[in-house]
Amino acid sequence: MDLKTLTYIVVGLTFALYIGIAVWARAGSTKEFYVAGGGVHPIANGMATAADWMSAASFISMAGLISFMGYDGAVYLLGWTGGYVLLALCLAPYLRKFGKFTVPDFIGDRYYSQTARTVAVVCAILVSFTYVAGQMRGVGVVFSRFLEVDITTGVVIGMAVVFFYAVLGGMKGITYTQVAQYCVLIFAYMVPAFFISIMMTGHVLPQTGFGATLVDGSNTYLLDKLDTISRDLGFADYTDGVKSKIDVMAITCALMVGTAGLPHVIVRFFTVPKVRDARISAGWALLFISFLYTTAPAVAAFARVNMVDTINGSDGKGTEYAHAPEWIKNWEKTGLISHEDKNGDGRMFYSNDDRNEMKVDRDIIVLANPEIAKLPNWVIALVAAGGIAAALSTAAGLLLVISTSISHDLLKRNLMPNITDKQELRYARGAAAVAILVAGYLGINPPGFVAEVVAFAFGLAAASFFPAIIMGIFYKKMNKEGAISGMLAGMIFTIGYIVYFKGIVMTPMAANVPENWLFGISPEGIGSVGMVINFVIAYGVSLFTKPVPQEVQNIVESIRFPKGAGEAHDH
């Protein structure tokens, strides 16, 4: 069976599974729509959290970043992993005890202010739309290659599927769909990794193959070969970074605290019955996440060696373009790989100097890896289904955050407090539908490659939500004036910096020069500076404004001891 037909079958079956689950788990109340009724088993919630958190950036783009950046790409691995641990240990149980199932709800009640709630709603929408743009871009990349449709058509198909199970099922439908999506994405990620590890190193586990010698008879360690290849082609050593330490620290910090402030992950801890279950599900999620994250460096290394060997040929002089491998011809149709014959010799060559004739998009590495390694078609089709599952699972969670921020936090808790449960559910579904349309537009016209766009979202979450949440839990004297001022200052600074360097102000050449960055910190890491600004402004303003009411301080004291059910509630 040819690859296109096989891919249609595999992807079609997964779509049928997701839609079937959505019909089975249709939400009948706002509680089911927002937090799945609060009755999800911790293991199932751990799987759903892992799928929600491991987006297209994790599945599609992270290994690509590591493959192209080497050591420097590890900041994404470290930041996202560390951030989840920070969220699970320091924030989730306390937020669960507080009993508010959205971040704006927590901020509005903790800081006893509708203005604070509204600012948090705006921040949540900005963060979620920035993040979902990366997911839709990932959907478009997968569809454009494996189903041989243009990116626009691919995004529209993805929108239709998400629309069905997110709008119909809400968090209840999304949760059980994400359990299925986790199984699909982790199987799709691990199977080709096992195959390629055995082929290249003789090790079944890619984690051990990553540090092993190659089976090509050279007795060379995989990483040693990568260092040699990188030097020969004009790149920095694969195991050595070129980024400044301050930028590495800033990006890692922004990704860590941004993860801890992501509203679509936080809400998952309200879908279990008790605070204890929230802790247990956090542990399960970390285990499920680790399978992919410990495999990604190996996938990146295998793909890098195979890609360079394929393009540059066994003699290192370049492969004749007329006899280019099929995977290059296939990906050229998507525009994500291109060849320019600079010297007219009819050969392809990949390097980091004047010899380079190939443009290769980072987002194709994981998806193209099975093709490069000449694995069976069913493995390639499986990877396509996994990439779509990763993107759609996170997109659904983000779209739910947007819809709940509008229907619950903005309308029910602020502008229209007298609407019924049924009316609120209708508004939530309408908001989700509009959000899907906006997300589709951003997927068709993305502001960057998947992981870069996602990094911006994490930076925005770090600069806005994290300080307000952490001080809301651990500093009972933080008042509403301080929290509002801090969120606005952090968000405005971070958005301004990103727009300045990635928008219309700086030329692309100048925008990527570290000497032009503040303190040498890239736009991907500037959220850490925005976070510091938020903390400083919030603390300073709180010193010179009215103290926090005693009853709010008592609430803060109570949530530091996360015992009891802590059931999510509206009032």
What tens digit of pLDDT does each residue of 320-338 get? 888 888 888 888 877 778 8
Range with the lowest mean pLDDT among 137-141, 146-150, 397-401, 558-562? 558-562
The predicted model gives 223-242 an average pLDDT of 87
More confident residue, 278 or 534: 534
Residue 568 has pLDDT above 50, yes or no: no
Report the SS3 class of residue 314.
Answer: coil
Q: Is the pLDDT of residue 531 over 90?
A: yes
Share of the chain above pLDDT 70, in %: 88
- Mapped onto helix, strand or coil, the DSSP state of residue 339 is strand
Q: Is the pLDDT of residue 169 over 50?
A: yes
DSSP label at residue 433: H
Tokens, residue 558 = 């109570």
pLDDT score, position 96: 73
196 to each of 241, 292, 298, 376, 450, how far by Cα in Å?
Answer: 26, 15, 10, 12, 24
Q: Residue 171 has what pLDDT?
A: 61
For the chain, which residues make up each domain, given as ranges? 3-303+375-444
pLDDT band of 566, cuts 50, 70, 90: very low
Return the axis-axis angle of helices 245-260 and 527-543, rounded to nearest 10°: 60
- Cα dihedral 551, 553, 556, 557, rounded to 10, equals -100
293 vs 81: CA distance, rounded Å: 8
What is the predicted pLDDT for the residue at 511?
A: 58
For 176-200, what is the mean pLDDT? 87
How far apart CA 35 and CA 568 sit, in angstroms, is: 8
Specify whether the CB–CB gap between 116 and 405 falls below 8 A: no
Using pLDDT thresholds of 50, 70 and 90, give the confidence band for residue 562: very low
- Give the residue-averaged pLDDT of 109-117: 87
pLDDT at 534: 94
The answer, yes or no, to whether residue 143 has pLDDT greater than 80, is: no
Of the listed ranges 46-50, 89-93, 113-117, 494-498, the one predicted with least confidence: 89-93
Mean pLDDT of 83-110: 76
CA-CA distances (angstroms) from residue 235 to 150, 238, 340, 349, 477?
Answer: 33, 8, 20, 14, 51
Beta-carbon contacts of 482 under 8 Å, excluding residues fewer than 6 positions away, are 471, 537, 538, 539, 540, 541, 542, 545
pLDDT for residue 515: 76
CATH number for the domain formed by residue range(s) 3-303+375-444: 1.10.4160.10
Query: Whose CA is closest to 490, among 529, 543, 542, 456?
Result: 529
pTM of the full structure: 0.80
Quickly count: other Cβ atoms within 10 Å of residue 194's Cβ: 16
Helices (H), 25-61: 30-35, 42-53, 56
pLDDT at 36 over 70: no
Arithmetic mean of pLDDT, 544-555: 89
Instruction: Report yes or no: 312 and 319 within 8 Å, Cβ to Cβ.
Output: yes
Residue 544: CB atoms within 10 A of its CB come to 8
DSSP state of 91: I
pLDDT for residue 33: 56
Q: What confidence score (pLDDT) does residue 114 get?
A: 85
Task: Between 52 and 504, name the one with better pLDDT.
Answer: 52
Please report how many Cα atoms fall inside a 13 Å half-sphere around the Cα of residue 225, on the Cβ side: 23
With a CB cutoff of 8 Å and minimum separation 6, the contacts of 416 are: none
pLDDT category, 446, cuts 50, 70, 90?
Answer: low
Q: Is the dihedral of CA 234, 235, 238, 240 positive or negative?
A: positive
Residue 37, pLDDT > 80, answer no
Whether the pLDDT of residue 285 is over 80: the answer is yes
Write out pLDDT tens, residues 383-392: 888 887 777 7
Q: Look at residue 447 in the predicted model and tell me its pLDDT.
A: 57
The mean per-residue pLDDT over the stretch 143-165 comes to 75
> How far, in Å, CA of 404 to CA of 177, rounded?
19
149 C-beta neighbours (distance < 10 Å), count: 15
Mean pLDDT confidence for 284-307: 89
pLDDT recorded at residue 571: 46
Has residue 207 got a pLDDT over 70? yes
Task: For residues 148-164, give the mean pLDDT.
Answer: 76
Radius of gyration of the chain (CA): 24
In 58-213, the DSSP E strands lie at: none
